[in-house]
Amino acid sequence: MRFTPQDEEFRAQVRAWLAANLTGDFAALRGAGGPGREHERHAERLAWNRHLAAAGWTCLGWPAEFGGRGATLSQQVIFHEEYARAGAPARVSIVGEELLGPTLIAFGTKEQQARFLPPIKQVTELWCQGYSEPGAGSDLANVATRASLDGTEWVVTGQKVWTSLAHVADWCFVLARTEPGSRRGAGLSYLLVPMRQSGVTVRPIRQLTGTSEFNEVFFDGARTGAANVVGEPGDGWRIAKATLAIERGAAMLGLQVGFRRELEDLLDVARHTAAGSDPLLRDKLARAWIGLEAVRAYALDTLGGADDRAEASVLKILWSRWHQALGELAMEVLGAASMTASAGRGGRPPQTPPEGDDLDEWQRLFLFGRAETIYGGSDEIQHNIIATRALGLPRE
Ligand SMILES: Cc1cc2nc3c(=O)[nH]c(=O)nc-3n(C[C@H](O)[C@H](O)[C@H](O)COP(=O)(O)OP(=O)(O)OC[C@H]3O[C@@H](n4cnc5c(N)ncnc54)[C@H](O)[C@@H]3O)c2cc1C
């Protein structure tokens, strides 16, 4: 990807805006939030996200007719790079902005677009993704949550699991079986369901990091309007897969800028401790640096190309493995000290399980990294995709 002079002008504009606005109370939000740290300062990050929206810095890639900025792919990359470089806090609007919004722009009715897109853009309604169930993860077509029409409303019953940010979401896009007796992808519908109603119970799941950012979600006769189905009833599998295809994109380039900052910080630790003189650790740190160069090159090379699922899988494996390995390397660099969770323990006895603030950033990175080769499609599933799509091997 080559950046034009206009792109560089845009970069200067983004940089200047962030420098002028990530100040005052917002300055304290630098570095807050993101995977494994979603518990951090949610209310303040929501306020920041609305501040971004008011200045037109949300939904950059959406076409202008839908309230977006119609930004080119390179501008989106630049925005995310500059955003990460400035250490701006993780946005709370990502699921709506990056997953549901583009899905509605592609498949929604005019009424759905008019009803749901503006609150996503203004960050007045937050979304979560209700796909996975206890019996449907990698095998998503096995969804058992069911929904049926009752007059002017869908009635939804079933259980979702691992639903990120459901505890703060106003709405959920739910994959549900609407044709009784149907199997696999047939007979599923893509429903938009309000979370704040008596038929919805959200139960946080405690993670390895001691915090809870994903949840079990129980739908027990939950209701939503008959018009809140995206695409035709029964055509939800096609729409759900389209949302999954959107999951990669320009934001990845921002992610790797964040990775670079983490690597720089770790190098800084190594420079000032004995780790920096350990020949094996020096070798691993150099390899980590090379690995990140490769991730960035591959991401830039494949971004915006044909919608190639094998490329998306390669990139997912590259970045998740790299980041997971960085967490492991951090534990080695920090040595024995990394084995005690003590950062914010207060008076609690050392043998109690860690809570969110007990962990320092390296411990959190190490522990949360385990999730990265699972969510967005596990490593094994990515390998299967590469085997069939890129290598032409027979399906399992
Ligand atoms: C941090 C995090 C956030 C998440 N957020 C959301 C969310 O917001 N919304 C949502 O709907 N879901 C979410 N998920 C769920 C995620 O999509 C699933 O965990 C993932 O798809 C794997 O499904 P599973 O957990 O049921 O594992 P399973 O599918 O049961 O897999 C278990 C193991 O078997 C392997 N396996 C399964 N099938 C095959 C196969 N055919 N060949 C080889 N190996 C196989 C897997 O790789 C894995 O190692 C999240 C998960 C995590 C970790």
- Is the minimum distance from the CB of 164 to ligand 1 under 6 angstroms? yes
Residue 303: the pLDDT is 78
Q: For 38-72, write each residue's pLDDT tens digit.
A: 888 999 999 999 999 999 999 999 999 999 999 99
Cα(14) to centroid(ligand 1), Å = 36
CA–CA distances in Å: residue 15 to residues 1, 7, 8, 81, 258: 20, 12, 10, 10, 16
Return the number of other C-beta atoms located less than 10 Å from residue 277's C-beta.
10
Choosing from 247, 332, 355, 361, the catalytic residue is 247
Cα(45) to centroid(ligand 1), Å = 28
- Is the minimum distance from the CB of 136 to ligand 1 under 6 angstroms? no
Residue 258: the pLDDT is 85
Written as six digits, the tokens of 386 are 């590469």
Return the number of other C-beta atoms located less than 10 Å from residue 69's C-beta.
18
pLDDT, mean over the chain? 92
Q: For 336-348, write each residue's pLDDT tens digit.
A: 888 887 765 556 6
Checking DSSP bridges between strand 146-150 and strand 229-230, what pairing results, if any? unpaired
Cα(263) to centroid(ligand 1), Å = 28
Give phi and psi for 36, each to the nearest 5: 85, -10
Q: Best of 324, 375, 386, 395 to mutate for ligand 1, by most ligand atoms within 8 A of CB?
A: 375
Mean predicted confidence (pLDDT) in 223-230? 98
196 pLDDT above the threshold of 60: yes
231: left (phi over 0), alpha (psi -120 to 50) or beta: left
Q: For 131-141, write each residue's pLDDT tens digit.
A: 999 999 999 99
CA–CA distances in Å: residue 132 to residues 46, 106, 143, 199, 379: 26, 23, 8, 19, 17
Residue 299: the pLDDT is 86
Residue 339: the pLDDT is 86
Q: In this structure, which residue's CA is closest to atom 30 in ligand 1?
A: 137
- Is the minimum distance from the CB of 375 to ligand 1 under 6 angstroms? yes
Residue 247: the pLDDT is 65
Which segment of 67-71, 249-253, 355-359, 365-369 scores lowest on mean pLDDT? 249-253
Percentage, residues of the chain above pLDDT 70:
93
Mean predicted confidence (pLDDT) in 239-245? 89
Q: Best of 94, 95, 132, 370 to mutate for ligand 1, by most ligand atoms within 8 A of CB?
A: 132
Residue 17: the pLDDT is 98
Residue 345: the pLDDT is 55
Cα(138) to centroid(ligand 1), Å = 5
The yes-or-no answer on residue 247 being catalytic is: yes
Residue 354: the pLDDT is 64
Residue 73: the pLDDT is 87
Residue 346: the pLDDT is 59
Confidence grade of residue 184 (pLDDT, cut at 50, 70, 90): very high
Residue 352: the pLDDT is 65
306 pLDDT above the threshold of 60: no
Mean predicted confidence (pLDDT) in 200-224? 95
CB contact at 8 A, 77 and 253: yes
Q: For 67-106, write each residue's pLDDT tens digit.
A: 999 999 889 989 998 998 999 999 999 999 999 999 999 9
